[in-house]
Amino acid sequence: MKTDKLPRVVIVGAGFGGLKTAQKLAHAPVQITLIDRYNYHLFQPLLYQIAIAGLVPSQIAYPLRTIFRRQKNLTFQMGEISAVDFDARYVRTNGSVIAYDYLVLAVGGEANFFGLRAVEENSFQLKSIESATSTRNHLLRMFERASREADPDKRRALLTFVVVGAGPTGVETAGALAELITHVMTKDYPEMDLQESRVLLIEATGSVMAAYPDELRQATMDLLQGKNVEILLNARLTDYNGQRITLADGGHINAYTLIWTAGVRSAELTDRLGVQQAAARRVRVEPSLQLPQHPDVFVIGDAAYVEDKQGQPLPMLATVAQQQAEAAAKNIRKILKGEKPQPFQYKDPGLLATIGRNAAVARIWGLSFSGFIAWVIWVMLHIYRLIGFRNRLVVLINWAWDYFFYDNQVRLITRE
């Protein structure tokens, strides 16, 4: 067992950051343990497709043991981290204790409700397969209930779908949901008048897609409105009881469905580490992504607070996590060779969001695209980024099918 003498790298979390770190250390003289509470890597940007019954979980999730079958220096362990001891250098999971020489915390993020507890309890999220599947089951159930509801006010509330937060996830969800209703549900429920149905996108700030340039924000608004999504800007939620939304200006919206995409914060674990935190629970790190006072610990992705050159915190995006993973892996290799770790610098690869079938907005190579061309870029890029050739093939067939026949396949209401 000569590998026993190699430095032990423990990576916590197999999202975009953890996965990339593990892959970048494939040929490093280390012994890696990758820990995740799930046994699969999840392609989170497409979770909203689960919610609108466009894809099924296995198309966007891929078993970690299969991904790493050929990587001999890595062991996967399914488990949840309960504590980390930075001094004794071990992590504790449900059931075992794993010692490390180097630790990479890539624990990801979760929905941030900013203290609105009632909203948190009564709304749906798109952060895991389970929450996205719940959202799908709920959405479909609303149509079934509406189909046998005689009271027109209640029926309208059952058919009012509110998405909160007009970032990329909110915009993509609202656009895809509007299309599902217009092109699929109208056929499945010929007995109902789906003109009664509404999709609302509520945003607390004055614009959709805050990170995008002006012309793409306008294009997003136009594309969404063309799909009958109603956009409410400068509108802030204060309460939701599962049937009625209360806004800060005193207004009310009757809706049985609220999908929350308005905020992300670091996973709860970061609160229990006893380290310095910034906004949204994120862990303050050195420019090299090392934890202050603990140079053998790296924090990357949603869980890490890193500022860009303008002093703004880097967004919680897959591209940030992946670039930080490369930097962390490179710095671990440097330390092993006795070299000094380098500071991380984020290179913005552009922005890209889809708005239902055949329309998207993109900012790539300094250029803005919107409409069909942007959508083609989006489809190709997302299919390319999915792991596993068979998954890509099946997703491609599904999308091609949906594109030509407008028929989402998976409108199953399963019981949880």
Is 179 a catalytic site residue?
A: no
Residue from 129, 178, 202, 208 touching a copy of itself (CB under 8 A): that is 129
Which residues, 252 to 271, sit near a copy of itself by CB under 8 A?
none
144, 215, 268, 308: which one binds a copy of itself (CB under 8 A):
144
Helices marked H in 98-213 = 117-122, 129-147, 152-158, 168-179, 186-188
Decide: is 403 part of the binding site for a copy of itself (CB under 8 A).
Answer: no
Q: Is 364 exposed, middle or buried, given 0-12, 13-18 or 19+ CB atoms closer than 10 A?
A: middle
Please identify which residue in 7, 26, 57, 254 interacts with a copy of itself, judged by CB under 8 A. 57
Residue 416 Cβ, how far from a copy of itself at the closest point, in Å? Answer: 6
Among 140, 174, 176, 353, binds a copy of itself (CB under 8 A): 140
Q: Which is nearer to a copy of itself, 155 or 282 (CB)?
A: 155
Q: In DSSP terms, which residues pair with 62 in a beta bridge?
A: 41
Q: CA–CA distance from 138 to each of 47, 117, 125, 135 (Å)?
A: 15, 20, 12, 5
Bridge partners, 354 (sequence order): 360
CA end-to-end span of the chain, whole Å? 45
Q: What's the min distance (Å) between Cβ of 175 and a copy of itself?
A: 22
The nearest distance, CB 232 to a copy of itself, in angstroms, is: 31
In this chain, which of 51, 61, 202, 267 binds a copy of itself, going by CB under 8 A?
Answer: 61
- Within a 13 Å sphere around the CA of 77, how many CA atoms are in the beta-carbon half? 19
List the x/- string, 92-111, binding to a copy of itself by CB under 8 A. Answer: ---xx---------------
Nearest-Å Rg of the Cα atoms of the chain is: 22
**Sign of the alpha-carbon dihedral angle for 87, 300, 265, 135:** negative
| DSSP secondary structure letters along 74-88 | EEEEE--EEEEETTT
Indicate whether 188 belongs to the interface with a copy of itself (CB under 8 A): yes
Per CB under 8 A, the list member of 3, 29, 69, 287 interacting with a copy of itself is 69
Q: Which of 110, 144, 149, 172 is catalytic?
A: 172
Neighbouring residues of 64: CB distance < 8 A, sequence distance ≥ 6: 14, 34, 36, 39, 40, 41, 76
Which residue has tokens 């892959």?
Answer: 23
Nearer to a copy of itself (CB atom), residue 382 or residue 411 = 411
Q: Which is nearer to a copy of itself, 189 or 346 (CB)?
A: 189
Q: What is the DSSP string of 89-101?
A: TEEEESS-EEE-S
Contacts to a copy of itself by CB under 8 A: 38-40, 56-58, 61, 63, 65-66, 69, 75, 77-79, 95-96, 129-130, 133, 140, 144, 147-148, 187-191, 388, 390-391, 393-394, 397-398, 401, 407, 409-416
Q: Which residues are catalytic?
A: 172
